[in-house]
Every structure is written in C-alpha cells, then in structure tokens.
Amino acid sequence: MSQPEKITKNSDGELVVPDHAIIPFIEGDGIGPDIWRATQAVIDGAVKTAFNGERKIHWRELSVGEKGYKKDGQWLSDEALADIREHMVAIKGPLTTPVGEGIRSLNVSIRQKLDLFACIRPVKYIESVPSPMKNPRDINMVVFRENTEDVYAGIEWAAGSEEAERVCTFLRDTMGADLPENPGIGIKPISAKNTKRLVAKAIEYAIENDYSSVTLMHKGNIMKFTEGAFRNWGYEVALEQYRDRIITEDELWDTYGGKQPAGRIVIKDRIADMLFQQTLLRPEEFGVIATPNLNGDYISDALAAQVGGLGMAPGANVSNDCAVFEATHGTAPKYAGLDKVNPSSLILSGALMLDHIGWKDAGNLIRTSLQATVQAGKVTYDLARQIEGAKEVTCSAFGQAIVARMG
C-alpha cells in the first residue's frame, strides 16, 4: 500500500496531490464532533467510490478549541497553525468563542494568522430543500468576501474614550470634519493590494469553474475612496492580469452588441443595495461576486437563505498558500452530542475541498448523493419540520444514507 504523503506545490504554484494525501482536520466544538463524524464517513465513501479505492485521505487531527484547551491549555496553538500551513489544505467544524479569554473569535484568529484573505461561499439550490424563492434553481452564485480589512480590521474606539476624543480632535481641528458630540469611531481601511488579490482569486475561480461573470459589489456611490476604490482596483486587476480572458460590461454593449463572446468572462459592478434586489429578482444574471468584508457578510447569508439557510451552506477561507474549508454555522451547543443536527454544511464544504485538490469526481458524487437523499425525504430535524411527508433521521443516519446512494 502507498504511504500517506503531504500535499505540496510545484514551481508553478499548482497543488501536487498524492493518491494517499494527508489532510488535517479540526472536529470543532458543540455539534462539531457529530457533524464531523458524518462528514468524514461521506468524504471517505466518496473518494473510495469515485476512485475505486485507489485514492484515500489520511486524516490528521488537530486539537483546537475546547479540545486543545483541555489537552494543553491552548485554544489555538502555533503548532496547529503551522500544521495547516505545512499541509496546505484543512477542514474544520465550528469553534466556540472563548468567553473572557482575550480571544475575539478563534475563527477570526485562524483567518488572520494564516492570512486567509478570501472567504468563498458557493450558493446553489439543492432540489427539495424548502426555499422562499419562486425559481430557486436559477441561483448559482459564489461570493468572494475580503477577509482582512474593511470594518473587519476592527479599528474602532468607544464613545467617550480618550482615544476616540483624540481622533475626534484631529478630525475636527486638522481635517475640518463635522462630527456629532461624543461619537464612537470606527475606521474602514480598503487597500489596492488586498482588493486586487481578492478580485484576482475571484476571476481565476470564475475561469476554472465556467462562470460567465464576476460582479464587483460595492457602495462606491457613498464611500468613494474605500468602496469606490474597491470597484476601480477590481477593474484594474481584471484588465492588467486577465485581459485576454475578460471583457467589461461596457465592452459587452459597446463592442459586442450585448452578445458575450465565447471564452470571455464579463466583469461588471453593482452598488450593494441594488445587488440585493437583483439577486432576488434576476438571480440568473449573477455568477461570481467579489466584495469587501461587510457587504460580503450580508450578501453571503442573504443568498444562503434563498436556497434553504446556513445549515446547507458550504464555505472556505483561502490564501495563496493554504485553504481551510468549514461549516458556516456555529457550534449550536444545545444540540451537542445529540446526533441530531444537519451535517450538510460541513459535508458540502468537504465536497468543495475535494474540488480544490482536483478530486472533482468525488466532490460531484457527494453533491449528487446528498441531493438524492434530501429528495428521497430522508432529512435531519431542521428540514423535516419544513418538508411535508419527510422522515426525520439522525445526523449520522443522514450521512450513512448519503454514502449508501454512492454505489
């Protein structure tokens, strides 16, 4: 039998994935162990079936969160972070936010320390899942949310604090700003470098996955030098680096008479509030969406709701060096250990991870088997309470039902 090996990169920066690949996982807190058990069985089953037993993932557990704290007093150790960096690909369940431990959020810490600058959230309808939309099948979008700046940078001071007072004095006296009395202050940095690396990733994803457009979502009509600059830098990187693969929306109409040429992605932009309307009214017009942090926060969850909510939404946080795939919901502590909740978010994140390492046949097998299981009405409590006639099954039984459909 082949020895387990690490995933590496070649000189072109492409992943080199051995048939017996080592992948670290963090099972997570609360419902984490339940959904991880179901997910691991589904991923292993899909890889085995898709590649006739010739490929296998060798799982490597990292103790992070409550497990890490119990083991060696550390919620998130440097060793765990180094391990993810070294193995380039990892998957995680939800992590609790330690209260009163001086850590804002373990998830935020992981993203910041590994510089995982893009949060990727695909949103696609799964047949039979209850949706508030008239035509949910028209929804097939992927949000690329910037992870490292905008309001997420957390530069803010409380009203009445000495720091806020000093900033206010500077703004009033030196910059001539008109401020209300005693305001809280927040600063929103958006840079060319971080915008361009995010938009470049979004365009590359659109090229690799056959999406026909990348939409730059912004509020540049009001915040010209942050959100407006995001839009301008987005077009700049598209034209500088991908000229032969893209056209702008203006070029689509002025040069091509509205007919999109084959092999070219349309780069367009929409003001954030308008995009919320248009993704509801004409979702088929949008593919990949690239956006600063706060807009991305709102639109990711709003789109997830259109196809059945966060319990079904996969996600990943990526840099140019590594990628961490994760459930998009939290630890739901009241259901911990009950083998009850829906593992679909983590399972579908696993499918995304398999796509990322080039094992797309296994990723597709997961998606089709999960869809067939839901269509057959075998679902966890959250969907059972919405689908008439559905049979409620446990978290693990749902996973087993998906594996059973793979043969």
Which residues of this protein are in contact with ligand NAP, per CB under 6 A?
31, 35, 94-97, 107, 311, 326, 329-332, 341-342, 345, 382
What's the closest the beta carbon of residue 394 comes to ligand NAP, in angstroms? 12
Active site residue 297: yes
- Closer Cβ to ligand NAP, 111 or 219, answer by number: 111
Q: How far is the CB of 343 from ligand NAP (least distance, A)?
A: 7
**CB closer to ligand NAP, 382 vs 392:** 382
Between β-strands 140-146 and 323-327, what pairing exists: parallel, antiparallel or unpaired?
unpaired
Give the nearest distance from C-beta 21 to ligand NAP in angstroms. 24
Q: Tell me, yes or no, if 72 is annotated catalytic.
A: no
Q: Min. distance of Cβ 357 from ligand NAP in angstroms?
A: 21
CA distances from 389 to 36, 132, 308, 395 (A): 27, 19, 18, 18
Residue 34 falls in the annotated catalytic set: no
* Residue 115 known to be catalytic: no
36-40: which pairs have CB atoms within 8 A and are 24 or more residues apart?
Answer: 36/93, 36/346, 37/395, 37/396, 37/399, 38/343, 38/346, 38/347, 38/395, 38/396, 38/398, 38/399, 39/91, 39/343, 39/346, 39/347, 39/349, 39/350, 39/399
- Shortest-Cβ-distance residue relative to ligand NAP: 330
Closer residue to ligand NAP (CB): 65 or 220: 65
Beta carbon nearer to ligand NAP, 128 or 345 = 345
What gap in Å lies between CA 208 and CA 276, rounded to an integer? 26
- State phi, psi for 16 to the nearest 5 degrees: -115, 110
CB of 224 to ligand NAP, least distance (A): 32
Q: Specify the residue, 271 or 310, whose C-beta has the smaller distance to ligand NAP.
A: 310
b/e map of 344-366 (b: 16 or more CB within 10 Å)? bbbbbbbbbbbbbbebeebbebb
Q: Which of 219, 269, 335, 340 is catalytic?
A: 219
Considering 138, 297, 301, 382, which one is annotated as catalytic? 297
Question: At closest approach, how far in Å is the CB of 201 from ligand NAP?
Answer: 20
Q: Do the beta carbons of residue 358 and residue 344 sit within 8 Å?
A: no
Q: Which one is catalytic: 125, 152, 205, 242?
A: 152
Nearest alpha-carbon partner for 332 in 380, 297, 374: 380
107/400 with CB nearer ligand NAP: 107
Question: How far lies 168's CA from each of 160, 187, 191, 337, in Å?
Answer: 10, 12, 23, 50
> Which residues are identified as catalytic?
152, 219, 273, 297
